[in-house]
Structure 1
Amino acid sequence: MTACAIEPTAEEGGAVSRAGLTIAANGAYAARLAGDGEALYPERWTLDGPEPYAVPLPAAQPEDPHAQVLPLVDGRVLIGRRADGRCVFSLLYPTGPRTGELPLGAVESGSVRLLPPSPDGAYAYALAAGAHSTGVWLVAGGAGGGPEHIAEIDGHCTGGSWLDRTGRMLALDRRQAGGGPVKAVAVDLERGGEVTPLLQIAEGSDDRVLLADPDSGLLLIRSDAPSPGHHRLGWGVLGSTLPVRFPECLRLPDAAVTPFAIQPGQTLTPETCAVALRIDAASGSWVGLWRPAERRLHQLAAPRGWLAGSGLWSREGELRLPYVTRGVPCGLARIVAAAPEEHVPHASTPSAQPEGAGGEPSGHAVTPGVCKPVPLQQAPLTGRTAPG
């Protein structure tokens, strides 16, 4: 349905603020911090009915702007609040005119960040930064009810993309404690947080996974391997023998291009997956639609009030973009992507008409050099065996 892309900052390669709306794994619910100024409160959206609607979940006092929310598939909303060098977690749910709250416990760290919703939607995980390592915590859904420490990863980890439908394999972007480039690694949560290289295009390149689709194996990555000092958006397929490619059509002058959702259900056909991208420039933000097989980027005007960087695909190829305006406090704009063999996508709402499309050729592929890096085709999801 959707996946939350986490775009690194230029300073550290860490994550910027999460999208304005986080969507549950099954697409039925979403959550965000709503309100104005200092009067912030969690808000749950219901998306699987005839029309979307929002339910406010205010606590006894306004929320801190740094509070994090994440919806579960059962309709409850996880909230993480900063307090005295730790992050305190609770589950929120509507109960009559009030908000019910179930305290879960805390993670002792001054820097805790929720990961995107797990594929099953019943569990929630977070990263906790330490001085020389990063902790992976199960903060909701565990047998004990409270936060459970799952793994400790050497180095500073950011990003976060699920590589399978079971919630076992997690891709993280890691910088070693001693410094050096950022490299994507795969973390096996069922093997005590075992870490294996996932993406190492060149010895000194920064190689990050931005978004992953467990159905097709399609990965959207960002790397400076093609042009040292300049990060490029590229794609590859988990387990493939083909190298990562960096299409020229995804390079826009004076604009940042970030993927935020991949069409699900395209098993064995990653090249035909529709990908939604957020395009940011000085003039504002809009939407890009792209498929690896097409080698061109279609640009669309975003609906007014779009919660930029959030959205979900249906299996049939309909992109749903959440938006908020004064007249519509909870809305979904729908864009129907063209079939792979067609050339111009169309929109089902007047707010999402095509602005234009480019037909640039695909960029060059990047293959490993003599430094013997681990290429994408050697990712650990193929040929794994159970621990002995």
Structure 2
Amino acid sequence: MTACAIETTAEDDDRGGEHPGRAARPTEFTTGLTITANGAYAARLAGDGDALYVERWTLDGPEPYAVPLPLDQPEEPGTQLLPLADGRVLVARRVDGRRNTFSLLYPTGPATGELRLGAVEAPGSEHLVLLPPSPDGICAYALCVGPDTTTLWLVAGGAFGPEQVAEVKGRCAGGVWLDRTGRILALDRRLDDGPVKAVAVDLERGGEVTPLLQITEDSNDRLLLADPDSGLLLIRSDAPSPGHDRLGWGVLGSLLPVRFPECLRLDDAAVTPFAVQPGQVLMPETCAVALRIDAAGGSWVGTWQPMARRMGQLAAPVGWLAGAGLWTAGGVLRLPYATAGAPCGLADVEAPPEPEPEAVATGASTEASAGADAAAGEPRVCRPVPLQQAPLTDGKPAG
């Protein structure tokens, strides 16, 4: 299973059109849910008003269930959470406007245990944000963004509390893991007043930075999601239409162009991918992608495959924790929801059927070396290398 939560701002959103028959439905709960990379646990802030507490969900059993992890003092609305693969929940709190403290919460019988890990200073205009769960399920990382540089901290899983592991020039955001070990991290970086470009950071080489994505020299190119099994990348860029972001897809390590399908562009809605089907080794075109669609009438779900020319749309379950969900390797989309009658639930949605041959778009195939590896029975190792520059043909997006 794989899942990833991406936070976007209004200026980054894709806007989209009228779709008769859509089942837009506002969600009852708006508090986000973060899911571990293996899909076993999740965590969110639950409660009402100022009485907020950490709630851990167990998702890999016969039925999902929630365990409250309250402390003597309620949590602040800005508290950040990250579940670990062992069932503990990392809590990051902002204290006195400059210090960020980190603790691990876990159930201990009727009470909640808390292991304090330490703190990281983020003074002035700097802010600290937790990165998506690491694929190893043990370590947790945070970005501390300053005016000119970004520092990467290991805040859980180390031997001596929080420790700085890398310093990257420029202001970075996002955060997408490119492998299954938690070594290679993609960040969206802006240098000075230049465009945003995705770069790869090697955590085993002291934070060595490698260019990852450049579609045109002046375009803003952000990486939203990546699947290490297939190499599928979901990208947001204004290369096709400067000043207007579009959703596109490519393949890690491929020299073929990034494609910007028209079906992912809606007129009056924002479209954001949040989960990719795992286990599709060397078959990026067949990976199912789940998308969150937000419009004035509410939020609902889109499903899409790179080989398809259209995006399926379906109503979200009542109480969907919008933007959260995960795919199983077998192609089932699991959407978490919470209502007064069902405070912890998962709704399963089957992946869309494969399109008919005449509806198949030409996809980005794997490289010749990948084909040789597959023929030899060895899985391809996806390495971060720049995608093809200037992939637009006659000024028009492919796909």
Does TM-score exceed 0.5, indicating one fold? yes
Instruction: Please show how residues 71-150 of structure 1 align to structure 2 within 5 Å.
Output: 71-84=83-96, 85-110=98-123, 111-144=127-160, 146-150=161-165
Instruction: Quote the Cα distance in structure 1 between the aligned partners of 2:114 and 2:39.
Output: 23
**1:181 pairs with 2:195:** yes
Instruction: Quote the Cα distance in structure 2 between the aligned partners of 1:237 and 1:217.
Output: 5
Instruction: Please show how residues 215-364 of structure 1 align to structure 2 within 5 Å.
Output: 215-341=229-355
Quick check: 1:296–1:361 contact (8 Å CA) kept in 2?
no
Please state how far the C-alpha of 1:98 moved relative to its aligned partner. Answer: 0.8
Residues 290, 11 of structure 1: alpha-carbon distance in 2 compared, 3 angstrom cutoff: closer
Quick check: 2:307–2:362 contact (8 Å CA) kept in 1?
no
Instruction: Quote the Cα distance in structure 2 between the aligned partners of 1:26 and 1:296.
Output: 29
Residues 285, 169 of structure 1: alpha-carbon distance in 2 compared, 3 angstrom cutoff: same
Tell me the equivalent position of 2:72: 60
Name the SS for the 1:157 alignment partner.
strand
Please state how far the C-alpha of 1:19 moved relative to its aligned partner. Answer: 7.3
CA shift digits 1:256-275 (9 cap, x unpaired): 00000000011100110000
> 4+ runs of 1 displaced by more than 6 Å?
359-363
Please state how far the C-alpha of 1:24 moved relative to its aligned partner. Answer: 0.9
Please state how far the C-alpha of 1:360 moved relative to its aligned partner. Answer: 11
Unmatched tracts of structure 2, length 5 or more: 14-29, 364-384, 390-399
Unmatched tracts of structure 1, length 5 or more: 344-358, 364-373, 379-388
Quick check: 1:246–1:362 contact (8 Å CA) kept in 2?
no
Residues 229, 360 of structure 1: alpha-carbon distance in 2 compared, 3 angstrom cutoff: farther
Residue identity opposite 2:41 in structure 1: Y
Name the SS for the 1:271 alignment partner.
helix
The number of equivalent residue pairs is: 348
Quick check: 2:89–2:105 contact (8 Å CA) kept in 1?
yes
Instruction: Quote the Cα distance in structure 2 between the aligned partners of 1:361 and 1:95.
Output: 53
Of 146, 153, 175, 1:160 maps to 175
Residue identity opposite 2:166 in structure 1: A
Residues 45, 99 of structure 1: alpha-carbon distance in 2 compared, 3 angstrom cutoff: same
Tell me the equivalent position of 2:387: 376
Please state how far the C-alpha of 1:342 moved relative to its aligned partner. Answer: 6.3
Residues 163, 35 of structure 1: alpha-carbon distance in 2 compared, 3 angstrom cutoff: same
Identity over aligned pairs, percent: 75
Normalising by structure 1, we get a TM-score of 0.86
Instruction: Quote the Cα distance in structure 1 between the aligned partners of 2:220 and 2:336.
Output: 32
Instruction: Please show how residues 175-214 of structure 1 align to structure 2 within 5 Å.
Output: 175-176=190-191, 178-214=192-228
Residue identity opposite 1:37 in structure 2: G
Structure scoring higher RCO (CA < 8 A, sep ≥ 6) equals 2
Name the SS for the 1:226 alignment partner.
strand
